[in-house]
Amino acid sequence: MFDPYKVREDFPILKRKINNHPLIYFDNAATSQKPRQVIEAVKEFYEKHNANVHRAVHTLSMEATELYEEAHEEAAKFIGAKSMEEIVFVRGTTEAINLVAYSWGLHNLKREDEVLATLMEHHSNIVPWEILSKIKGFKVKYVDVNLDGTLNYESLKEFLTPKVKLVCITHVSNVTGVINDVKTIAKLAHENGALVLVDGAQSVPHMPVNVQDLDCDFLAFSGHKMLGPTGIGVLYGKREILEKMEPFHGGGEMIREVSFNHETRRCKISWNELPWKFEAGTPDVCGAVGLTAAIRYLKALGMDNVKTHECDLTEYALKRLKECLKVTVYGPYDASLKCGIIPFNVEGFNSHDVALLLDSYGIMIRSGFHCAQPLHQKLRISSSARASFYIYNTREEVDRFVEALKEIEQTL
């Protein structure tokens, strides 16, 4: 088990004071803070290795290319992919899901087909499918969620018919932190002939994830939620599926050859090999370098340790929040069923008011829908405040958080 107090020394931003209070950062489900190791890796790239990749034979380009390809290798090993060819770099989870929608869905989904999502999905795993359904004519259906925020597996089995060609499922809810049994869901989907797309934005940074063990067909996650820079993310796809897919973006780097036929006055185009056929244009090389540093940092801590720390902190926070007389917590109280995310409301206050009041204590949380309006409708709440933990958070911070909420309760 790692020492969170020692970990905190690697994060310069945690030395800040907000409104004359030490910064407490509980908005990790939105984005994580960056350790010095990631910041220095980004700085070193721009100071020593900055160049475009795969485009030149000079030293800087060779160095940048090596670092970029190394990042694919590190990401592949981190999630248990078979090879770097199964790792496509994108801007984040949202772009990864859109890539699947337009590279796979646009060419494989027909009017009589169905895509199955759930009511706990982030909008990024709902909106692309609804947009595409208007183009292709297929139906998007939604698995129900129980009032405690857990997935209704009976509803899943009911909707999972041979018409379903793709199951879109979040590994961990970004609202309640509930962990879904993706391995079982993938088995059920495959038995019905459907592929499985997993939104791993809230799971990959917080717990061990092995795509071969889960047997998912696609997995999407973002670097900025796991200590890395913004603007870099990963789409994992099984190689045999990616090889059959058409590119999402067209341009430089994603082609093998473009030849012009003077007789037909047309260009003949052949695609590059994996994963480059999905990475058009100049990529975020520096973001990839930062992601490598983030992955290595997490691997050094141990993802089992990361999950254990968050579970311990969540259990402690849930216990202490019971002391608050006007606080309602949503989702299960069993910390073993979830990652470190706690949605709540304070009686008499709008969630945004709660966030602003906590900010006056130097405590950063999120408020609103968290890009998951259907789940809020299911839970019968207009919005929620959300506290989310990570490797650098401590019990002392939870104590300050709870005491601040008690003071807020007294203002009405």
Catalytic residue status for 371: yes
Quote the tokens at residue 170: 């979040």
- CB of 204 within 8 A of CB of 75? no
Q: How would you classify the pairing of strands 363-364 and 24-25?
A: parallel
Q: Are strands 341-346 and 233-237 parallel, antiparallel or unpaired?
A: unpaired
CA angle in degrees (0–180, nearest 5) for 117-91-254: 105
CB 242 within 8 A of CB 260: no
DSSP 3-state assignment of 339?
Answer: coil
Residue 317 · residue 341 · CB < 8 Å: no
Q: In whole angstroms, what is the distance from residue 200 CA to residue 235 CA?
A: 10
CA 144 to chain CA centroid, Å, is: 22
Q: Write down the catalytic residue from 168, 216, 324, 371.
A: 371
Return d(Cα 14, Cα 35) in angstroms, integer: 10
SS3 call for 137 = coil
Three-state SS at 240: helix
Phi, psi of 170 (to 5 degrees): -80, 135
- DSSP E strand boundaries for 95-160: 114-118, 139-143
Q: Mapping DSSP to helix (H, G, I), strand (E, B) and coil, where does residue 195 land? A: strand
The catalytic residue positions are: 371
